[in-house]
Each structure stands twice: as structure tokens, then as C-alpha cells.
Amino acid sequence: LTDSLGTAVLFITHDLGLAAERAQHIVVMYKGQVVESGPSLEVLQHPQHPYTKRLVAAAPSLASQRIISAKERGEDADALLDHHIAGESTLEKSEHIITVDHLTKEFKLPRKKEMFKAVDDVSFSVKRGTTLAIVGESGSGKSTVANMVLHLLKPTSGKVFYEGRDISTFKAKDLLGFRRHVQPVFQNPYGSLDPMYSIFRSIEEPLRIHKIGDKKWRANRVKELLDMVEMPASVMGRYPNELSGGQRQRIAIARAMALDPDVIVCDEAVSALDVLVQDQVLRLLNDLQAEKGLSYLFITHDLAVVRQIADEV
């Protein structure tokens, strides 16, 4: 706009990469105050205020998040990467937990005769214990693929296999078992967390549906899950609207972890978060993967995030 029309643009964002690319001047705010301002490259390359330094350090970069987390835990980073590539030690390298085979999805458009092909002959596999990222712009079909992997949408053609079994053949009991092992974390926890449910009820619900444990056991399990995502037990009685975006996403991750799944499908799970919270959530996901041997299907449009989290793209 500034080049073609001579119009000045005030751009509000939490995306430092976008700010560096588009802005000539940056103003950094913290707790209602301007803490630093100046030419964009100068501020980002030589930050002065502690908060700006934290923002820049937390922004997605070429550094691998799994290596950073390993160093902080005092682990050998190369050994950790070998673990992720190999999967669990008892499994062969070539074993895949999710396989998508020639997946196609068409939708009937209103007032039109022709079908809209949202997904066209897509195939890929997710190796056990690793992260596969699916990237692309809005409307490229990423989330439609994720919903078919989760069996929330039925494909027009093609198949999705879990542990070598075609999920379209699952009966009710098999499908319930599949849902226990493959869990989602969606982009907007306002949409995926019931605003009328307390945090305790939101996390406890999967355990109750799958008839796992008694009331006392489930209460202890919810506390364990909150501790796992670094949230205090005191939030159990609160509601989603009382929490920040990053806190709500941690609750969504805790709920996804409640059933000890093998696979978590993260559909733009960090795209709505500012860089500091995004960094915290990515570290959490990475550490949970290292600890639990989880497999991730990570849907995103952010290649910088992919550099941090993905083994394959």
C-alpha cells in the first residue's frame, strides 16, 4: 500500500517475522507501555529492553526446538533426534502409525452443479514417534485432510489407515478405541472448549466417556494432566473465558493427553498465539513427545514453526 498509493499503514501484530518483512519502524509494547521503538531491523537485531530480547529469542527460527529442549534437560541432542527418527526402540524404523492413501474429498457447492474438490489424491505416512507437518496457505485443504484423518469427515475416495487398519471399516467399538488413541488439538480453544464447562469438567470428560477410573481417580488424573502442561490445580474450578489464549490451549492439550493417545493431530494449534506463548506451547509439545513417544500430525501455514517442530514436511 505504501508503495502504490503512498498510504501509511499501522500494522498490529504478534508475528515478528511479518514485522521484520513489512515494517520500516517497530514499536514494542509491554503491559500497556511502549518499552522500545526504532527501525525494524535495528530493534530485532539489537534489542535493548529485556522484554524485546525475550520476544526475539522466542520467535521461531532455524534452531530446532527439540534440540533446544534437550539441551535444557541436559540430554544429548543427537541421541534425542535419533530417538525421534527411530521411534520407540522396540519398533522398526519403517513402521508407520498413520497412513493416508490417495485421499480425495469433494463438496457440493450451493447453487452449482459441479463439485468442489478440496483434497485431490493426497498420500503420506506418519512415522511412529515423529512429527509430520502439512503446510500450505488458507484454503489449500490442510484442515480437510486433518478432519478425514480424525474420521470427522468421510473421504470421497481413498483411505486412512491407523496401525495398518482401514478406519472406514471400524464398527462403533473400534471407532471408540480409535478416538482414544488419536486426539485433536484445534486452533481455537474457544471453539473446542465448551464455555459452560469448568476446566475440570473439560479435561475429565474424555475419561468419563471412555469409563476410565472412578470419580476420585479421575480427579487425581486431572491434577496430573494440569501439572503436565504446567498449569496449577487451582484452575480446575475456572472457566475458559477466565483464561488467556495460551492457558486455554494448554487445557486443550491436557484434554488431548487425558487418554494417553498415540497420535495428536494439531490443526493450527499455535497460529493464534503470540510468539512467547507459541514458544512455550511448542516446547511443551516437544517435551511431551520426547517423554511419551507421541506421533504428531501438525497442520500449519507457518514454515518457521515447521522448522522447530517437524521431522518431515
pLDDT, averaged in runs of 10, over the chain (313 residues): 69 76 87 90 86 78 48 50 45 72 93 89 93 91 94 95 93 91 87 91 94 93 90 92 87 91 90 76 83 90 84 90
Region of 155 (left: φ > 0; alpha: ψ -120 to 50; beta: rest) is beta
Region of 137 (left: φ > 0; alpha: ψ -120 to 50; beta: rest) is beta
Q: How far apart are CA 310 and CA 73, in angstroms?
A: 20
Q: How far apart are CA 190 and CA 248, in angstroms?
A: 8
Query: Would you say the pTM of this structure is higher than 0.75?
Result: no
pLDDT confidence of residue 133: 94
User: Which stretches does DSSP call E strand in the chain?
Assistant: 25-30, 33-39, 96-108, 115-127, 131-135, 157-162, 165-166, 182-185, 263-267, 295-300
pLDDT confidence of residue 53: 86
3-state secondary structure 159-192: EEEECCEEHHHCCHHHHHHHHHHEEEECCCHHHH
Domain 65-97+126-140+167-309 part of CATH 3.40.50.300:
yes
Sign of CA dihedral 198, 200, 206, 207: negative
Q: What is the DSSP letter of 274?
A: -
pLDDT confidence of residue 174: 92
Region of 105 (left: φ > 0; alpha: ψ -120 to 50; beta: rest) is beta
Going from N- to C-terminal start, the domains of the chain cover 2-58, 65-97+126-140+167-309
Q: How far apart are CA 16 and CA 274, in angstroms?
A: 9
pLDDT confidence of residue 93: 41
